[in-house]
Structure 1
Amino acid sequence: MFFESWWLNISIALALIVALTLDYVTKFFSYWYVRHIPYKPSIPFFGSDYHRVLGIKNNTDEVNTLYSQHPKEDFVGSVKCRIPDLIVRNPDLIKEVLSTEFDSFKSRGLDLDKSQDICLRNNLFYVDGEKWTVLREGLESLLNDSTLNEDCFLGSLSGTNGNIKVQHLLSKVLDVVFKDMLLKDVNESVITELRTAFQNRSLKDKWLYYLKNIFPSVYVFLGLSTLFGVPSKKSTHAIQQAEWTKKIESTFKDNKTLKSSSKDLSFGILSSVISEGYIPCLNLLTALTYEIAKNPQMQKRARNSDEYLDAVVKETLRMYPPYSVITRKCVKTYKFSQSKVLVDKGVTVNVPVEAIHRDDTYFKEAEVFKPERFLYGAAVNGYAFLPFGAGPRKCVGEQISQQIVRSVAGALIKRFEIETIENTPSKLPITDHNFGRVIDMDIWLRFKPIDC
């Protein structure tokens, strides 16, 4: 039906467009209300995710806030843009999501495996389905063949004395460690180049991270990449000639699922080991070194007891988990066994790892760095301690990463007394970066060699 006035026709058409748009973007705003789950109110176009979208608060802080606001609830709901999002607080229900009902939550829901970015396309963290299975089995085989020579990095500690930027010292050590494990026949400058690129947090990199995290479909559509100009031609040639690359080619030989050239596959897998292995190890070791510098008696005890050092590593993983939130997408309608809650296909489920690790319900004096809680066979609910996740998608590098951290930490405390100095922060500044957690400033400590 049309009116004689064209202004009236245009006004009605615009009103209909606005009404239909609002209906579309607000369709799921009452999703958690009808399910009797506490939730954060939403606003059009942003949902309840406006703090994160506008850069006011990062995802971890938002999840931790919602977790703490509802201490007696098993679930807390929100809406990301227009899609329902669920935080699961109960470790028994988390077990369903990560392990016992894995088939219902087997996808991470990041939708980045079709990206033109080869660092994401062949990264276990971002892929799903058969491609994930093939990559997982292959990477497990490659890592199982990788061994750590615990003396390989000792030369990197030579000359260390006085006030030192911790990340700089640890990067020198880890460059040698990862070269020795992966690229023995290649100069460690290749590792240095890659990890430097991943550590870079320029304004452009922050914008790409934001787009990849908030609007992954746009990131894929625009064909964007996290690393520009990396690796260099020199590094590309070195990687292609490396023995580890030949192992990768042999492991995935004739497999058509990955649909990548041997060059792209080798670089993609190597970059994933750096981004999901090296960088978390660097941040974990920085946090561990910082905590023992603040606690001289704890440092002395770890120096004389491997068991206590293991407890220090676990406590560092508790307080500073590499990934603070684990996400899964519900791939089919699912009803939780201990609840009447029903979630539909497409809903994202969040496991608030950092929030649980710092909850007094599961760890007494949770905000205190206390390695003793992991001594003498202390019982911990397995699904309240998730530094490496759990279930079939548990971190593939759990064993080797713990070996690296124990070896490097042990070498440091046996060779140096480590102390805080005037400009050492009273609290570690942690922020989100590339779906993980990183220390957001240089940490300075004093290293005093111990006479052997």
Structure 2
Amino acid sequence: MFFESFILNILVLVVLILALLFDYATKFFSYWYIRHIPYRIPIPLFGNDYFRVLGIRNTSDEVNKLYTTYGKDKYVGCIKSRIPDLIVKDPNSIKKILSTDFSNFHCRGSALDRSQDVCIRNNLFYAEGEKWTLLRSKMELLLNNMDVNLRDNLHDCLQGINGQTNVQQLLCEILDVVFKDLLIGNNLDGSVIKTTRKILQTRTLFDKLKSYLKDIFPSIYVMFGLNVLSKQYFSKFTQVLEESKLMQDIKKTESILHDDTDVKKKFKLSECDLITAYLALFIGEGYIPCHHTLTTLLYELAKNPEVQEKARKCVNSSSEDDYLSHTIKETLRLHPPYSIINRKCVKTYQFPDKDLLIDKSFTITIPVEALQRDETHYKDANKFNPSRFEANRELPDCIYLPFGTGPRKCIGERLALQIIRSVTASILKSFHIAPCEMLPDLQTSDFNFKRVIDNDLWLKFDPIS
């Protein structure tokens, strides 16, 4: 005992424990100060995340605010809980991080590889290192061998639509059919697509808590064995999944890729594991971002009737560089489904153009939405103007990143654009789209790394005779 009084000893012990916790929580709070990087003062235990904990702003809005506040700086520092995070605004540095020096930043830093969540553990979006390389090669071959025919049933989904329509609901009905045909097949029950989509879109208080832990405290998400969809969930659809087009495509892929190397043996996955991971990937990182993009695209077409008419003239075009394609690109610029890109520094990195050293395990944030709305890079950046993407107008590298860039660029970009274009063309061919009286602003927030629209969007669909 330090003192004769037991209570005094307890008080001293408590003070020491609190001091150690404070030191642990604030260890890196001066990290950006000594590197002469502008930063916002963090708060113990929360860092710069207090705005999200208190519900003041979500991550994307905070990153956008910091981007604007420090307009002339190439880099902005912040603290995620207790770990330093660097917001990189300079396109040249972004190119080095995502492409040139990819080996230093090949991880997202999500640390969810060991999760019990079957939708995450073997998911290409969350995978790291050798497992990512293996899953990437499997997914590339799968996409190359998939039979993609999107227009056959789209007309049937639009029958009976006339007048004021809930856009999100309409698009769900269309995309349910599109992804059923793509993944399940016409002759099988496609309820697994609709049910999985509904679960992944659900945002109860508990779902938001899980999303927060997955983003900020992934180790806690893994420790408590949290999941979005369990193995028991997929067991209800075992027969449908075994007979699905996706399973047939997986078997074709596995017959081509013989698992005979050490890496493939180390991460060898059963067809059951693959189909659950692939289904979650197609719905979570394919269906939902496509739904977001189509919603914002129809919103912009309703606001801009002259753009709508020019796009309608291209609905039968097979060109990948016509006005309808420019309209889709402009939508992805103003309303990217992923507003930020995260990377983890896997070894100490020196930025070539600045005396700035980043230590291993610290994170990088690429502010996609803020970059794509920056007046420095785009004239009238907040105006919807598809003409800025005409073929003779070359954009500088890394100021347009809705699908990322470099080796970890979105593998489904081509398929996503094909789906978005096919759905948009079918709607434009059949309807004039107009606002219902006053058109409200879109209210967006973050959920599971993606941007989501919080308010219902109603538009007027007038059939073209």
Contact 1:112 1:220 in 2 (8 A): yes
Q: What residue is the counterpart of 2:443 in the other structure?
A: 429
* Matching residue's letter, 1:284: T
User: RMSD of the alignment, in Å?
Assistant: 1.7
Q: What residue is the counterpart of 1:366 in the other structure?
A: 381
* Matching residue's letter, 1:160: I
| CA displacement, residues 226-285 of structure 1 (integer Å, 9 cap, x when unaligned) | 136874654232012224213324534644343544323211111111100010001100
Q: What residue is the counterpart of 2:29 in the other structure?
A: 29
Q: CA deviation at 1:63?
A: 0.6
Note the residue ranges of structure 2 that are not aligned, 5 or more in a row. none
Q: 2:364 aligns with which of 327, 334, 349?
A: 349
Q: CA deviation at 1:16?
A: 1.7
1:333 aligned onto 2:342: no
What is the rounded CA distance, in whole Å, between the counterparts of 2:291 and 2:266 in structure 1? 33
Q: What residue is the counterpart of 2:424 in the other structure?
A: 409
Q: What residue is the counterpart of 2:175 in the other structure?
A: 174
* 3-state secondary structure, aligned to 2:237: helix
Contact 1:280 1:322 in 2 (8 A): yes
Q: What residue is the counterpart of 1:137 in the other structure?
A: 137
Contact 1:49 1:78 in 2 (8 A): no
Number of residue pairs the alignment of both structures matches: 450
Q: What residue is the counterpart of 2:38 in the other structure?
A: 38
Q: What residue is the counterpart of 1:217 in the other structure?
A: 219
Q: What residue is the counterpart of 1:98 in the other structure?
A: 98
Greater shift in the superposed pair: 305-314 or 321-330 = 305-314
**C-alpha spacing 1:49/1:233, structure 2 compared with 1 (3 Å):** closer
Greater shift in the superposed pair: 48-57 or 1-10 = 1-10
What is the rounded CA distance, in whole Å, between the counterparts of 2:268 and 2:24 in structure 1? 36
| CA displacement, residues 366-413 of structure 1 (integer Å, 9 cap, x when unaligned) | 111111111242121130000000000000000110011111111111
* 3-state secondary structure, aligned to 1:393: coil
Q: 2:456 aligns with which of 436, 442, 445?
A: 442
What is the rounded CA distance, in whole Å, between the counterparts of 2:215 and 2:58 in structure 1? 11
* 3-state secondary structure, aligned to 2:46: coil
* 3-state secondary structure, aligned to 2:265: coil
Q: CA deviation at 1:122?
A: 1.6
Q: CA deviation at 1:423?
A: 5.8
Q: What residue is the counterpart of 1:292 in the other structure?
A: 301
| CA displacement, residues 265-308 of structure 1 (integer Å, 9 cap, x when unaligned) | 21111111110001000110010011101111111111113511
1:160 aligned onto 2:161: yes
Q: What residue is the counterpart of 1:57 in the other structure?
A: 57
Contact 1:423 1:444 in 2 (8 A): no
Greater shift in the superposed pair: 408-417 or 94-103 = 408-417
* Matching residue's letter, 2:383: V
What is the rounded CA distance, in whole Å, between the counterparts of 1:21 and 1:174 in structure 2? 49
What is the rounded CA distance, in whole Å, between the counterparts of 1:167 and 1:257 in structure 2? 42
Contact 2:150 2:422 in 1 (8 A): no
What is the rounded CA distance, in whole Å, between the counterparts of 1:325 and 1:35 in structure 2? 24
**C-alpha spacing 1:30/1:123, structure 2 compared with 1 (3 Å):** same
What is the rounded CA distance, in whole Å, between the counterparts of 2:289 and 2:220 in structure 1? 27
1:277 aligned onto 2:286: yes
| CA displacement, residues 105-128 of structure 1 (integer Å, 9 cap, x when unaligned) | 010000111100001112111110
What is the rounded CA distance, in whole Å, between the counterparts of 1:230 and 1:397 in structure 2? 28
| CA displacement, residues 155-197 of structure 1 (integer Å, 9 cap, x when unaligned) | 1111111111111111121112112222224333221111111
Contact 1:193 1:231 in 2 (8 A): no
1:385 aligned onto 2:434: no
Contact 1:183 1:243 in 2 (8 A): yes
* 3-state secondary structure, aligned to 2:18: helix
Greater shift in the superposed pair: 243-252 or 28-37 = 243-252
What is the rounded CA distance, in whole Å, between the counterparts of 2:287 and 2:130 in structure 1? 26
Note the residue ranges of structure 1 that are not aligned, 5 or more in a row. none
Contact 1:161 1:447 in 2 (8 A): yes
What is the rounded CA distance, in whole Å, between the counterparts of 1:258 and 1:409 in structure 2? 40
Contact 1:194 1:231 in 2 (8 A): no
What is the rounded CA distance, in whole Å, between the counterparts of 1:144 and 1:325 in structure 2? 28
* 3-state secondary structure, aligned to 2:78: strand
Q: CA deviation at 1:65?
A: 0.8
| CA displacement, residues 315-345 of structure 1 (integer Å, 9 cap, x when unaligned) | 0000011110000000000001111110000
* 3-state secondary structure, aligned to 1:274: helix
| CA displacement, residues 416-436 of structure 1 (integer Å, 9 cap, x when unaligned) | 0011103641x1111111101
Contact 1:197 1:230 in 2 (8 A): no
| CA displacement, residues 90-137 of structure 1 (integer Å, 9 cap, x when unaligned) | 000000110000000010000111100001112111110111011111
What is the rounded CA distance, in whole Å, between the counterparts of 1:201 and 1:16 in structure 2? 41
What is the rounded CA distance, in whole Å, between the counterparts of 1:408 and 1:73 in structure 2? 41
**C-alpha spacing 1:441/1:256, structure 2 compared with 1 (3 Å):** farther
What is the rounded CA distance, in whole Å, between the counterparts of 1:68 and 1:387 in structure 2? 20
**C-alpha spacing 1:167/1:257, structure 2 compared with 1 (3 Å):** farther
* Matching residue's letter, 1:358: R
